[in-house]
Amino acid sequence: MDAFVIDGGRRLKGEVTISGSKNASLPIMAAALMTAEPIILRDVPCLRDIANMRRLLHELGCETTTAETDPNEIVLESDPDGPNLAPYDIVSTMRAGICVLGPLTASRGEARVSMPGGCAIGDRPVDIHLRGMAALGAEVSLDEGDIVVKAPRGGLRGATVFLGGPFGSTVLGTANVMSAAVLAKGTTVIESAACEPEIVDLASLLTTMGARIRGAGTPRIVIDGVESLGGAEHRIMPDRIEAGTYMVAAAITNGELTLGNCPYDCLLAAVDRLERIGVSVRPAIEGQPASSSDGVTNLMAVTALDSESSPYRRSRVTVESQRRLSPVQVTTQPHPGYPTDLQAQLMALLCLADGNSIVTERIFPERFLHVAELGRMGAKLYRQGQTVVVSGVDQLRGARVMASELRASAGLVLAGLAAEGSTTVHRVYHLDRGYETMERKLSAVGAEIKRVDEEEVAGGS
Ligand code: EPU
């Protein structure tokens, strides 16, 4: 197992290119199950979750091949008569395996997907996914730990489907039901759909394949079913969470980073918080400088401006901090609110603000694995239920830390970049799930960070 060793306190300066989005890639790759024709995807990040999804698709008779000239381009070709069992050993390593449920049921008439268990950030039920599939006429049951979903004779039927839940909508649930509805008979209306940009990117791919979808990116998606889908080429949208993480990296090191391929329009809630903290965020589109208020454009205008297959503009964004950070309140919400996937990173920054900040988690109420670890670095944090009061300190101090979750681990790396002395972040495999070549990107802009074997640091500091 690997760890990162970070010698903190360096000011980061330079350019970072944002990779394609992990969370857009996963359901998009699953959509390849719905056609026998090739799907060509560009900007697929090289990550552990993507490798696991490729393994899962292989089990389902969908072969994935990496282009010889580009490690981020893959071709997916699915055998329509392939197996329909998503086995426990893969789904248990990657909950996102659930997103094959809709595509498999729609194209093969039946799906058997191992029921994902809880994970480090909470229970994570899939009841809304199943309710959505049942609304399309499918029979849903549980057999020996597997979810079994069977389309009725004659196939899935369009319906009005409500996908709201106790914590808002569901992103992968919306992906599943939207994908399945594409091949259902008649019209489906999804109410309380997730509005996340990754849903828009999936709809964009499905539309290129021949689907008829309106309203993706809004709470009401309307899908007119089609008989079949064809092949397509698609460039994955940039990863908004990776971009937000590097924005915080610039801020926490009192640095200046320019992010290329940055989905600025998808990050307005994060930009708003950073600006209130006192961080400068300056976007430029296609070589034209723009003030941050230009980012508040409606999505249709943004789509119209984009010449790429991705539905969002790819911006160059410069983030700069002259440290004296103001405290803020932040509450995680579904998009376009502040994302839960950037909560830990912002909390690391707020540890160094001048006063008390309040962070409330409304998507995954237990997602606070980083709190105790930040405390080991000298942060002052007081948690009560879903809220943490962060009382800013002058300096964080390096320590050995560990978090059993991707974004919590990212928060600890950021804290390590700012801390005095050496920080070791253990179990880097969590970061490898979601950040492409993180240590290389950070080193290139001045961070002192290296990947080492856990054994090398065992018994150290
Ligand atoms: N929920 C239910 N029932 C369901 C589904 C969800 O109650 O059937 C609840 C969840 O427990 C949670 C809330 O609804 O409280 C939202 O969960 P959602 O289903 O939207 O999460 P997800 O689709 O499983 C995706 C991302 C997560 C991200 C969340 C929220 C992928 C692969 N995963 O998960 O990303 O945090 O949306 O934005 O797209 C990450 O990248 O680190 C990550 C965890």
How does pLDDT run across 183-234, given as a tens digit for each residue? Answer: 999 999 999 999 999 999 999 999 999 999 999 999 999 999 999 999 999 9
pLDDT attached to residue 154: 93
Q: Whose CA is nearest to atom 26 of ligand 1?
A: 23
Pocket perturbation via mutation, ligand 1, pick of 170, 200, 245, 338 by most ligand atoms within 8 A of CB = 170
Do 83 and 206 lie in one domain? The reply is yes
Pocket of ligand 1 (CB under 6 A): 23, 26, 96, 122, 124-129, 165-167, 170-173, 194, 340-341, 363-364, 406-407, 434
Distance 192 CA to ligand 1 centre (A): 14
DSSP H stretches of helix in 377-458: 406-418, 429-432, 438-444, 454-457
Distance 170 CA to ligand 1 centre (A): 6
**Catalytic, out of 46, 99, 119, 266:** 119
Give the range of the structural domain holding residue 374, as residue numbers without chain letter: 2-19+238-459
User: Taking the mean position of all CA atoms in its chain, how far away is CA 76?
Assistant: 21
Pairwise CA distance, residues 453 & 441, whole Å: 19
Pocket perturbation via mutation, ligand 1, pick of 91, 149, 363 by most ligand atoms within 8 A of CB = 363
Pairwise CA distance, residues 266 & 336, whole Å: 7
User: Which of 191, 220, 235 is where one domain is finished?
Assistant: 235
Do 195 and 310 lie in one domain? The reply is no
Q: What does the mean pLDDT of the chain come to? A: 92
Do 47 and 127 lie in one domain? The reply is yes
Tens of pLDDT along 379-401?
999 999 999 999 999 999 999 99
Do 255 and 131 lie in one domain? The reply is no
Pairwise CA distance, residues 195 & 345, whole Å: 22
Q: Whose CA is nearest to atom 43 of ligand 1?
A: 341
Residues 103 and 180 sit within 8 Å (Cβ to Cβ): yes
Do 258 and 305 lie in one domain? The reply is yes
Do 95 and 184 lie in one domain? The reply is yes
Do 251 and 150 lie in one domain? The reply is no
| Mean pLDDT within 283-301 | 48
Asked whether the predicted pLDDT for residue 303 surpasses 50, the reply is no
Q: Which atom of ligand 1 is nearest to the CA of 126?
A: 8
Do 278 and 346 lie in one domain? The reply is yes
- Band of pLDDT at residue 296, cut at 50, 70 and 90: very low
Q: Which atom of ligand 1 is nearest to the CA of 241?
A: 41
Asked whether the predicted pLDDT for residue 284 surpasses 90, the reply is no
The structural domain count of the chain equals: 2
Note if 99 is an active site residue.
no
Q: Whose CA is nearest to atom 6 of ligand 1?
A: 170
Q: Whose CA is nearest to atom 17 of ligand 1?
A: 170
Give kind and range of the element (H or E) at residue 147. Answer: strand 146-150
The residues pairing with 235 across neighbouring beta strands, listed in sequence order, are 42
User: Which of 188, 203, 235 is where one domain is finished?
Assistant: 235
316-441-422 Cα angle (round to 5): 130
Do 45 and 9 lie in one domain? The reply is no
- Band of pLDDT at residue 141, cut at 50, 70 and 90: very high
Distance 41 CA to ligand 1 centre (A): 24
Asked whether the predicted pLDDT for residue 301 surpasses 80, the reply is no
Q: What is the CATH number of the domain that holds 451?
A: 3.65.10.10
- Band of pLDDT at residue 356, cut at 50, 70 and 90: very high
Q: Whose CA is nearest to atom 16 of ligand 1?
A: 170
User: Which of 192, 209, 235 is where one domain is finished?
Assistant: 235
pLDDT attached to residue 298: 34
Do 302 and 175 lie in one domain? The reply is no
Do 154 and 286 lie in one domain? The reply is no
| Mean pLDDT within 313-320 | 94
Do 13 and 64 lie in one domain? The reply is no
Tens of pLDDT along 68-89?
999 999 999 999 999 999 999 9
